[in-house]
Amino acid sequence: MANPEILFQTAPEQYKHWRLAIDGPVATLSMDVQEDETLADGYKLKLNSYDLGVDIELADAVQRIRFEHPEVRVVVITSLKPRIFCAGANIYMLGSSSHAFKVNFCKFTNETRCAIEDDSSHSGRRYIAALNGTASGGGYELAIACDEIYLVDDGNSAVSLPEVPLLGVLPGTGGLTRLVDKRKVRRDRADVFSTLAEGLKGKRAKEWGLIDGYFPTSKFQESIDARVQQLAINAAPTQGIKLTPLEFESTADSRNYKYVKLKLNRDQRYADLTVHAPEGPQPTSADQIQELGAAYWPLQAYRELDDALLHLRVNEPLIGLVCVRTAGDAENVLAIDETLMANRDHWLVREIIAHMARVLRRLDLTAKSFFAIVEPGSCFAGNLLELLLASDRSYMLKDSDASLAVSELNQGAFPMSNGLTRMQSRFLAEPEKLDEVFGDKKPFDTDEAEALGLITFAPDDLDWEDEIRVAIEERTSLSPDALTGMEASLRFAGPETMDTKIYGRLTAWQNWIFQRPNAVGPEGALTNYGKPTQAHFDYKRT
Residues 6+ apart with CB under 8 A from 338: 407, 408
Least Å distance between CB 168 and its own copies?
3
Q: Shortest CA distance to 272 belongs to which of 469, 115, 445, 449?
A: 469
Question: Residue 298: enclosing H or E segment and its boundaries?
Answer: helix 297-315
For residue 44, count CB atoms less than 10 angstroms from its CB and return exposed for 0-12, middle for 13-18, buried for 19 or more.
middle
Of 79, 210, 504, 527, which one interacts with its own copies (CB under 8 A)? 504
53-92: contacts with its own copies (CB under 8 A): none
Contact 127, 118 (CB under 8 A): no
Is residue 362 within the footprint of its own copies (CB under 8 A)? no
Q: In 70-152, which ranges are continuous DSSP H helix?
A: 91-96, 99-123, 138-144
Is residue 363 within the footprint of its own copies (CB under 8 A)? no
Least Å distance between CB 458 and its own copies?
12
CB count within 10 Å of CB 473 equals: 13
Is residue 185 within the footprint of its own copies (CB under 8 A)? yes
CB count within 10 Å of CB 418 equals: 20
Q: Helices H, strands E: what count in the chain? A: 22, 20
CA 248 – CA 264 distance, rounded (Å) = 15
124/539 with CB nearer its own copies = 539
Of 7, 100, 292, 452, which one interacts with its own copies (CB under 8 A)? 100
Least Å distance between CB 290 and its own copies?
38
CA 511 – CA 337 distance, rounded (Å) = 38
Q: Shortest CA distance to 11 belongs to which of 242, 238, 249, 239?
A: 242
CA 179 – CA 191 distance, rounded (Å) = 10
Torsion of CA 327, 328, 331, 334, to 10 degrees: -50
413/525 with CB nearer its own copies = 525
Is residue 212 within the footprint of its own copies (CB under 8 A)? no
φ and ψ at residue 399, rounded to 5 degrees? 50, 40
Is residue 528 within the footprint of its own copies (CB under 8 A)? no
64/368 with CB nearer its own copies = 368
416-475: contacts with its own copies (CB under 8 A): 425-429, 453, 455-456, 474-475
Of 180, 235, 246, 327, which one interacts with its own copies (CB under 8 A)? 180
Least Å distance between CB 500 and its own copies?
8
49/476 with CB nearer its own copies = 476
Q: Shortest CA distance to 355 belongs to which of 305, 423, 408?
A: 305
63/484 with CB nearer its own copies = 484
Is residue 213 within the footprint of its own copies (CB under 8 A)? no
350/501 with CB nearer its own copies = 501
295-334: contacts with its own copies (CB under 8 A): 317-320
Contact 489, 508 (CB under 8 A): no
Strand 254-256 to strand 249-251: parallel, antiparallel, or no bridges (unpaired)? antiparallel
73/361 with CB nearer its own copies = 361
22/180 with CB nearer its own copies = 180
Residues 6+ apart with CB under 8 A from 477: none
Least Å distance between CB 424 and its own copies?
12
Is residue 168 within the footprint of its own copies (CB under 8 A)? yes
Is residue 113 within the footprint of its own copies (CB under 8 A)? no
391/446 with CB nearer its own copies = 391
Length in residues, the chain: 542
391/403 with CB nearer its own copies = 391
Is residue 184 within the footprint of its own copies (CB under 8 A)? yes
Is residue 12 within the footprint of its own copies (CB under 8 A)? no
CA 279 – CA 329 distance, rounded (Å) = 8
With CB under 8 A as the contact rule, which of the stretches 53-61, 65-73, 150-158, 180-188 interacts with its own copies?
180-188
Residues 6+ apart with CB under 8 A from 303: 243, 246, 294, 355, 359
Taking CB under 8 A as the rule, which mask of x and - marks residues 374-413 in contact with its own copies?
-----------------xxxx-------------------
Of 19, 187, 242, 469, which one interacts with its own copies (CB under 8 A)? 187
How many residues of this chain bind its own copies (CB under 8 A)? 93
Of 7, 286, 452, 493, which one interacts with its own copies (CB under 8 A)? 493
Distances (CA, A) of 511 to 54, 247, 504: 22, 34, 11
Is residue 237 within the footprint of its own copies (CB under 8 A)? no
Is residue 252 within the footprint of its own copies (CB under 8 A)? no
Instruction: Assign 23 to helix, strand or coil.
Output: strand
